[in-house]
Homo-oligomer: A and B are copies of this chain.
């Protein structure tokens, strides 16, 4: 008999068994890489900028030749010539020499600073007066100031977004290696389920889990295979699940996971693979199963759509991110938000609990409103922005207390 696990025990089993799995790598064009996970470090093979560049219109000088100058006592320098935009200078700057360089132009060898054109005078005799001293490096971007050869610009595991793609374009990458999208098969079991386009009769309910889970997989950057409703028929479920494990990187079955007459998911996972746990002490979501079928993870989620969605978010999503190659980073804080409770939440009784939260903006302060509902399915799904986890030893949360919301 498999005992019910705490959520941290469940996480440990999930990651110790499947944490090593990584998708293969494919090369895609950078505009197709938006939202994909970078599979190698991107190391610059170039210095950026590739030349010492002026950031102003003015005169390239040896800084020391301008020290102590002023409007009263200009530094008088010989005008060596003009550097054209986009052209390499054909001369160097020697002692007491200067050259005109436009913004973005290359600073000639020998020069180490710029004097802005407004602080110069043309004496008409081949000399220019500098009216303001310039420190070494002033108004100059040196070779490699932005990025140096050998510097890691983006790390493997980064989820690529517009600004990363700008950095890739700047470095001349037309394409990048990314992890392939995990393919996940999604099955709903249960004789009570009907398709979304049917009207449920009696105790029939629509298959909601196929939609929440496939949508969530899309948002995670996976490919989903929506197998749909499989009736509670053990041989049929076994053949469908066996095929699904062959065709995909992970199989998610919802429904049929309570211990009882209808525990078909458990029976199939136990037969075609190994069941690693059956039951997590969390509310809602207790009847959760993890199976290992030929090294691939198979999840049995509760049939109740809200429970299935919470379990997906809590336990399946982190594994998918790991398999998809996404590194856990400070960016994960993106999806969390702290806010203050609008209402107290009474204690639960020895079981970790998830509760839907609606975020509200009250005078610029973010407030967290618990989304209660007696049956609380559709209303929780439609109204919540995320959820909080209430620890199993929590003795209740008070109004105004700060909570951490995991955003959907």
**B206–A169 CB distance below 8 A:** yes
Contact pick for A226, options B31, B207, B385, CB 8 Å: B31
**Interface residue count for A (Cβ, 8 Å)?**
86
Q: Is the CB of B334 within 8 A of A167?
A: no
Contact with B along A325-342 (1 / 0, CB 8 A): 000001101100100000
Select from chain B the residue with minimum beta-carbon distance to A46: B199
A379 to chain B: which residues have CB within 8 Å? 146-147, 153
Q: Does A227 contact B (CB under 8 A)?
A: no
> Would you call A90 an interface residue if the criterion is a C-beta within 8 Å of the partner chain's C-beta atoms?
no
Q: A106-B203, A172-B199 are in contact. Are A333 and B30 (CB under 8 A)?
A: no
Looking at the complex, which of A1-9, A288-296, A359-367 is the stretch in contact with chain B?
A: A359-367
Name A105's contact: one of B196, B203, B374, B407 (CB within 8 Å): B203
Measured CA separation A200–B206 after assembly (Å): 58
Q: How far is the CA of A207 from the CA of B87 in the complex (A)?
A: 18
A195 — nearest CB in chain B belongs to which residue? B174
Whether B88 lies near A378 (C-beta < 8 A) is no
**Is there an interface contact between B169 and A211, defined as CB atoms closer than 8 Å?**
yes
Judge whether A192 and B31 touch: CB under 8 Å: no
In the complex, the answer to whether A162 meets B309 with C-beta atoms within 8 Å is yes
B147 touches A200 (CB 8 A): no
Asked if A219 and B162 make an inter-chain contact with CB atoms under 8 angstroms apart, the answer reads yes
- Give the chain B neighbours of A200 by CB distance below 8 A: 50
Q: Mark A3-45, 1 if CB is under 8 A from B, else 0.
A: 0000000000000000000000000001100110000000010
Of all chain B residues, the one with the shortest Cβ separation from A168 is B211
